[in-house]
A and B are shown apart, each in its own frame.
Chain A
């Protein structure tokens, strides 16, 4: 009774001792003593291909597992056993007819004991085998069925070694027979991805599906091609001609062209010639490829307006295509019904390094739609989508709100970017003032700031109808108050416009819709002497303010309210939130908690 604690104690301390001792210690405190630190002949350490080194050996005390790399193999018995028998495969015999250095299995060396000449044997040139050794003085008689030997290592300690049978070392797997029947099966079973392209030709589908390339036919050369929508590619942003247009995918692309010699390419480059964009027919359905002569399957591309071919006149290249717009009417699976194309033309100055930016727009619409012209796209239905243009109304005309922009020389540009919903923006430009009266000057600057026509209303939702006045809200606008100044010839002109838009989410919290609650134009003026100043800097700032007040969710369903701070119940919270769907998951933490409580109480 009283001794058992002591025994336990001893065991406990032993455990501690064992635990504290570094793990890879090669000489455990066992009674069997050996010099296994170095192993018999680690000096020839390159031969350890077959064995575990002593550093990694967590062996039985006193027994070290090492390779057959012995420094001085002494054989007290008279058995003249060949320690290094010639191997059937000699991997290091690389020069035929010549002795390879350190290759112990090379028959060209004619060495009976290669180790006497070579400093070491290359890995693989000796038969790999593993020996397990103990100090010789411990062994009186060996009854082991395995071959055993006594070696003397460099320190002069005699070691008794047993050759263990290691099946892992001399193990080969038989290869499978490969013939024509199972070649593909083996390749797919063991093979992964390779450079083999997975491309296969398919027969043309009966009708176009969204995203399919549109087929064209050049009757002049009897060639089938694809309807192209050149797009910028790569770091250069240069036009790639062969970018196909996708069926029903209305999109616009922009790319740049550079000309080494515009005088030549002006008339020769087909990309600049409007005719090259409609001198073909479009196949109504891809099935038309089977019968290319049948005009039933072919839809001609009709230019909306006549566009002449490029013309080199003096130092300018006229009638260069800068914008191509395809309008394609489709009718479901019946394919393309009508294709029309319109062009934007530009004139280019012939100079070295001339460049041109081209826009390509492809628009699809269903032929059933009654509207003759495309209506302006919505900015959301109903709620605004971020990044879509902010809709404004002037009179009965709906348009998108714009802001000014400067062009290359810093002056105000005619092109005005759209104000996008939710996107704060800031821009500015310089306006050259012409000599005119103060009221004209004011009118011009106001127009430059707010655009033409002047927005009067702003759409509450992205799908506002111009006919429904209730869907629009008036823009609060205040021209700057002309304060009575002592300066007589002064003129107060606006220099900055801040467009402030308050918006909020409305509707279901799960699917909130953004709507504009109100908009305000704020002008700031500066009084100038109209005779002195020739240029003013105008700026426009767009600010969107989210005024959504998120309500507390209504008390419909009871939910667990964790009020304690600092994640006090964090593990249980996680377990509960996971166990909402599977009730089983939430049981285990409760059980654990119960057991813990029980343990503490008892």
Chain B
């Protein structure tokens, strides 16, 4: 009757030697060589500590219904028209104030609760002698990120466009992109930039100066910028027609870089270390087995007594 192997079990054999023997020194050396070089290999091949990571999120953006608008008129010098949603700014303008018709709509295309785009239209009534050669427009947004750290910011989209010919319409279709000069934190609440872009309560002209607004805004480490490579100027305005700004501003999904937390750093380091360590463990296991089996270092081999027999002896 043929026999088949149904179960197998390794038999342990131990090698004994003194504490100050060659075998002890060898074992110490082998252990050190097993565990330390993987760390060095992992560290010296770079990227051991995860210093920066990134994630994707569509920000929660809402248009704050704050508008600051300047239209530069030509061909005479110094002509301009201005309007904003800030009463103090409008008071400062005097004769240059011209109230446009502004209509806005934010749209949630995919019904996920986050707005996807803003339709903005501004119709500036003009006299037949007035010709718009350039516009400057600031729209403010509240910008929030929630996935890693809760990041709340008030940001702006600055649009400046001009053309050599008097325009009748400016069409802009672009994205409101996030610009990071430094990574965000991995958790916590970040309200560093939850301050209004334009100080609407101030009565002073300085606070509404575009250079001042832009300079203060660019001091921030995290900003938004309106990217539209090709704003379209349409020229040829009939005498009674208004100047129109037609803007579609999309809120795209952003890739946000952040500083990983402690456990994330440790996790990735651990993965790298252990994967290299496994190879070293296997190699040194073989070396040790070779050394002890062939008595390269002097030891006394002892075959371990099976556990069951030991127990029996104790019982009897």
Contact = CB atoms under 8 A, between A and B. Distances in A.
Given A236-B236, A422-B105, A424-B105, A2 B125 contact: no
Give the most central of B119, B123, B238, B294: most A CB within 10 Å. B238
Interface in B70-125: 85, 97-105, 107, 119, 123, 125
Given A235-B236, A237-B235, A406-B125, A5 B241 contact: no
A426 B85 contact: yes
A410 B101 contact: no
Given A2-B290, A417-B101, A357 B241 contact: yes
Given A410-B99, A424-B104, A427-B100, A238 B236 contact: yes
A19 interface: no
Given A2-B294, A6-B290, A427-B99, A237 B104 contact: no
Interface in A407-436: 407-410, 413, 417, 420, 422-429
A420 B293 contact: no
Contacts of A256: 168, 236-238, 241
Nearest to A546: B108
B130 interface: yes
B214 interface: no
Contact of B238 (A257, A403, A409): A257
Interface residues of B, number: 38
A505 to B, nearest CB: 9
A537 B126 CA distance: 17
B104 A425 contact: yes
Contact of B239 (A355, A413, A423, A542): A355
Nearest to A258: B236
Contacts of A258: 236
B125 A408 contact: yes
A438 B65 CA distance: 34
B233 interface: yes
B289 A5 contact: yes
B148 to A, nearest CB: 10
Contacts of B232: 235
A484 to B, nearest CB: 27
B99 A408 contact: no
Which of B65, B85, B125 has the most chain A CB atoms inside 10 A of its CB?
B125
A562 to B, nearest CB: 16
Contacts of B293: 2
Nearest to B103: A425
B247 to A, nearest CB: 14
B300 interface: no
Contact of A237 (B98, B101, B168): B168
A417 B122 CA distance: 12
A355 B130 CA distance: 13
Contacts of A356: 238-239
Given A237-B168, A408-B127, A410-B98, A423 B289 contact: no
Interface string A77-118: 000000000000000000000000000000000000000000
Main secondary structure of the interface of B (DSSP, over half): mixed
Given A2-B293, A413-B125, A428-B99, A423 B105 contact: yes
B314 interface: no
B127 A354 contact: no
Contact of A235 (B98, B103, B234, B290): B234
A9 interface: yes
A12 B283 contact: yes
Given A408-B127, A408-B130, A539 B238 contact: no
B307 to A, nearest CB: 22
Interface string B127-170: 11010000000000000000000000000000000000000110
Contacts of B294: 2
Nearest to B119: A423
Interface string B277-292: 0000001001101100
A216 interface: no
B102 A427 contact: yes
Interface in A520-572: 537, 539, 542
B5 interface: no
A427 B101 contact: yes
Contacts of A372: none
Interface string B8-28: 000000000000000000000
B101 A423 contact: no
A235 B164 CA distance: 13
A5 B286 contact: yes
B240 interface: yes
A235 B128 CA distance: 19
A159 B43 CA distance: 46
Interface string B36-71: 000000000000000000000000000001000000
A8 B126 CA distance: 87
A154 to B, nearest CB: 40
Nearest to B63: A424
A405 interface: yes
A344 interface: no
A387 interface: yes
B253 to A, nearest CB: 16
Contact of B103 (A355, A423, A537): A423
A386 interface: yes
Interface string A257-276: 11000000000000000000
Contacts of A413: 125
A424 B65 contact: yes
Contacts of A427: 99-102
A202 to B, nearest CB: 35
A408 B123 CA distance: 11
A235 B99 contact: no
Contacts of B107: 386
A155 to B, nearest CB: 38
Contacts of A232: 236
A134 to B, nearest CB: 37
B283 A9 contact: yes
B89 to A, nearest CB: 14
A258 B294 CA distance: 105
A424 B119 CA distance: 10
Contacts of A539: 99
Contacts of B235: 235-237
Contacts of B125: 405-408, 410, 413
Nearest to A13: B283
A426 B105 contact: no
Interface in A1-45: 2, 5-6, 8-9, 12
Tell which of B98, B103, B107, B235 has the most Cβ of chain A within 10 Å: B103
Contacts of B97: 410
Interface string B220-251: 00000000000011111111110000000000
Given A420-B103, A425-B104, A427-B102, A408 B233 contact: no
Nearest to B65: A424
Contacts of A12: 283
Contacts of B119: 423
Contacts of A403: 101
Contacts of B128: 355, 408
Contacts of A405: 101, 123, 125
B286 A237 contact: no
B296 to A, nearest CB: 11
Contacts of B286: 5-6, 8-9
Nearest to A403: B101
4 closest residue pairs by CB, A with B? A357-B238, A428-B99, A408-B127, A256-B238
Interface of B: 65, 85, 97-105, 107, 119, 123, 125-128, 130, 168-169, 232-241, 283, 286-287, 289-290, 293-294
14 contacts: A5-B289, A6-B286, A237-B236, A237-B237, A257-B238, A355-B128, A355-B237, A386-B107, A408-B125, A408-B127, A408-B130, A410-B98, A423-B103, A426-B103
Given A258-B236, A542-B103, 12 more contacts: A5-B286, A6-B286, A235-B235, A236-B234, A236-B236, A354-B239, A410-B98, A417-B101, A425-B101, A425-B103, A426-B103, A427-B100
